[in-house]
Amino acid sequence: MDLTTLTYLVVGATFALYMGIAVWARAGSTGEFYAAGGGVHPVANGMATGADWMSAASFISMAGLIAFQGYDASIFLMGWTGGYVLLALCLAPYLRKFGKFTVPDFIGDRFYSSTARIVAVACLIIASITYVIGQMKGIGVAFSRFLDVDYATGLYAGMGIVFFYAVLGGMKGVTYTQIAQYCVLIFAYTVPAIFISLNITGNPIPQLGFLGDTADGTPFMVKLDQTLVDLGFAEYTAQKGNTFNILMYTLSLMFGTAGLPHVIIRFFTVPKVADARTSAGWALLFIAILYTTAPAVGSMARLNLTNTVQTGPVGSAEGNLAYAERPDWFKKWENTGLLAFEDKNGDGRIQYYNDKNADFNAKAAEFGWKGNELVKVDPDIMVLANPEIAQLPNWVIALVAAGGLAAALSTAAGLLLAISSAISHDLLKSTFMPDISEKAELNAARISMAGAILVAGYLGLNPPGFAAQVVALAFGLAAASIFPVLMMGIFSTRINNHGAVAGMLVGLVSTLVYIFTYKGWLFIPGTEMLANTPDNWFLGISPEAFGALGALLNFVTANIVTGMTKPVPEHIRHMVEDIRVPKGAGAAQSH
């Protein structure tokens, strides 16, 4: 069976499963729409949380960045997994004990302020919309290649699928759909990794394979380092970035992870506090399967890509692949616009090397090369293209397509649910329309989710970067605005409503201004001179890493403003102390 037909069958079968689950688990009340009725088993919730967490950035983009950035991309592994531990230990159980549906619910009640609730909703929506853009990029990439359509058409198809099962089922439908999606995505990620590890190192365990030897007895990482150095690139295992920026970037991802509303609300779906702790442990186990495999996938993908193009000694006529003889996978990815070749010297062969390396450029000139002719290799294609590059069976390639789509769709659904809950429950029900009926609130949630899908799809047509880069910006926004106020709300009886509001605004605005300035989105005369380079960044902190500094500004501002205003009421102090008492909690309440 040809690859296209097989892909349609595999992807179609998984979509039919997701839609069937959505119909079966259709939400009939706000409790089921927001928190799945609070009756999800901890293991099932752990699996759903894993799918919610392992987005297109994790499945598609992270290994792609590891492939091209090497050592420096370890920030994603450390930041995202470390942040999840922070979330599981410091936030999830206490928020579950509080017994509400949403993050703004907690902030509004803890800081006894409708203003705090509204500001929290704004922070949530800005961070979540930014995050969902990255998922839409992943959906468009996967659909465009494996269903042989252009990027925009693939994006529209993904929007339609998400609209159906997320709008219909709410949290109840999304939870059970995400369990199925986790099974699909983890199988799709690990099976090709096992095949490729066997091909390159003879070891069926990818986590051990990339630390072992290749078929000729050379250590795999040594071979990859030498292959890249021969083409003018830095050693794969060498640190290339600023150490302080790497630290700030890691902290930003950690704090952002712990402040992500779409992950936090998953812990409102279990019956009691002990279940929240248990499901967090299961989720970490399920997440670790993919995250410990990603370094092997990324490094082996880079070696496979390089060896495909570099077929012999550097500089020899037979050393570069003839463009007319390029493999089918190369042609198909060219059709998507995510891989591009330009014959700069007219020799009909593909020169792939680091043309930013002055020393190697001099050597390349002797070969008659006039620049790197792989003018575009979108990192987001690497995981999806890797099985094809390695010439794995068609069923494995089709499975990867289904897995990539499952990862993007599962997280997109969780994010959209968080956005719709914030609008319908926190803005309408809890703030502006307290007398709204349950049916009207449920309809408002579905309408707001549909609107969020349209906005995210529109922005996804022109994303500001690779999936993981866009997601990193979202993590920075969550780190600067939501994480600090949650930590202070749980662990400090001192911070008052004025301090919380001021802290969130300072953290959010400072991070947005920094990102927009160095990404060139401010459109203010003179800011175009602030190029997005380490030389211009404040203390060498990149836009994606600024969230950690934004979080610090949030903490400092909240404490200063609190010291200048009225102290926290006594009953709020008692409530905060009660949240930290390690006892069970009742069912989630809507008011």
Give the span between the Cα atoms of 186 and 515, in whole angstroms.
33
**25 vs 50, which has greater pLDDT?**
50
Residue 93, exposed/middle/buried by CB under 10 A (0-12, 13-18, 19+)?
buried
Q: How many CA atoms lie within 13 A of 86 on its CB side?
A: 22
pLDDT-wise least confident of 99-113, 375-389, 401-415, 567-581: 401-415
pLDDT in tens, 512-538: 888 888 876 655 555 555 666 777 888
Cα 412 to Cα 158: distance, rounded to the nearest angstrom: 10
Q: What is the mean pLDDT of residues 55-60?
A: 74
The Cα 442–Cα 168 span in angstroms is 10
Lowest mean pLDDT among 311-325, 361-375, 426-440: 426-440
CATH superfamily of 3-301+387-468: Sodium/glucose cotransporter (1.20.1730.10)
* CB atoms inside a 10 Å sphere around CB 436: 17
For the entire predicted model, the pTM comes to: 0.82
Q: Which of 501, 509, 502, 500 is nearest to 480 (CA)?
A: 509
With 60 as the cut, is the pLDDT of residue 76 above it? yes
Of 343, 416, 392, 400, the residue nearest 189 (C-alpha): 400
Q: Quick one: pLDDT at residue 166?
A: 64
Exposure string (b/e) for 450-475, b if CB count within 10 Å is 16 or more? eebbeebbebbeebbbbbbbbbbbbb
Helix, strand and coil content of the chain, in percent to the nearest 5, comes to 75, 0, 25
Amino acid letter at 130?
A: T
Place 468 in a pLDDT band, splitting at 50, 70 and 90: low
Q: What does R_g of the chain's alpha carbons equal in angstroms? A: 24
pLDDT of residue 221: 92
Whether the predicted pLDDT of 230 surpasses 80: yes
Residue 451 has pLDDT above 90, yes or no: no
Q: What is the pLDDT of residue 252?
A: 94
What is the distance between the alpha carbons of residues 106 and 120, in angstroms, rounded to a whole number?
10
| Cβ 249 vs Cβ 79: under 8 Å | yes
**To 5 degrees, how large is the angle CA 519–CA 522–CA 528?**
65
CA atoms within 13 A on the CB side of 563: 6
Domains of the chain, residue spans = 3-301+387-468, 312-383
pLDDT tens digits, residue range 175-204? 777 788 888 888 888 988 998 999 889 899
- Measured CA to CA, the distance from residue 259 to residue 265 in angstroms comes to 11
Report the alpha-carbon distance of residue 443 to residue 167 in Å, rounded.
10
Please give the single-letter amino acid code of residue 359.
Answer: D
* Each residue's pLDDT tens digit, 241-293: 889 999 999 999 999 988 887 777 777 777 777 787 788 888 888 888 888 99
559 band by pLDDT with thresholds 50, 70 and 90: very high
Query: CA-CA distance, 6 to 19, in Å (whole number)?
Result: 20
Q: Please provide residue 377's backbone torsions phi and psi, each rounded to the nearest 5 degrees.
A: -135, 95
Determine which of 470-474, 476-480, 487-491 has the lowest per-residue pLDDT on average.
470-474
- So what's the pLDDT on residue 422? 78
What's the pLDDT score for residue 584?
A: 47
Give the residue-averaged pLDDT of 310-317: 79
Instruction: Report the C-alpha gap between 439 and 294 in whole angstroms.
Output: 44
Q: Burial level of 316, CB count in 10 A (0-12/13-18/19+)?
A: exposed
CA atoms within 13 Å, Cβ hemisphere of 347: 18
DSSP track, 121-165? HHHHHHHHHHHHHHHHHHHHHHHHHHTT--HHHHHHHHHHHHHHH
Name the average pLDDT for the chain. Answer: 82
- Give the count of beta carbons closer than 10 Å to the beta carbon of residue 366: 8
The predicted structure's pLDDT at residue 463: 67
Q: Identify the residue with better confidence: 56 or 226.
A: 226
DSSP string, 170-234: HHHHHHHHHHHHHHHHHHHHHHHHHHHHHHHHS-S-HHHHTTSB-TTS-BHHHHHHHHHHTTTPP
3-class SS of residue 349: strand
What is the chain's length?
591
**b/e per residue 27-54 (b: at least 16 CB within 10 A):** beebbbbbbbbbebbbbbbbbbbbbbbb
E-strand spans in 222-320? none
pLDDT for 545 beyond 80: yes
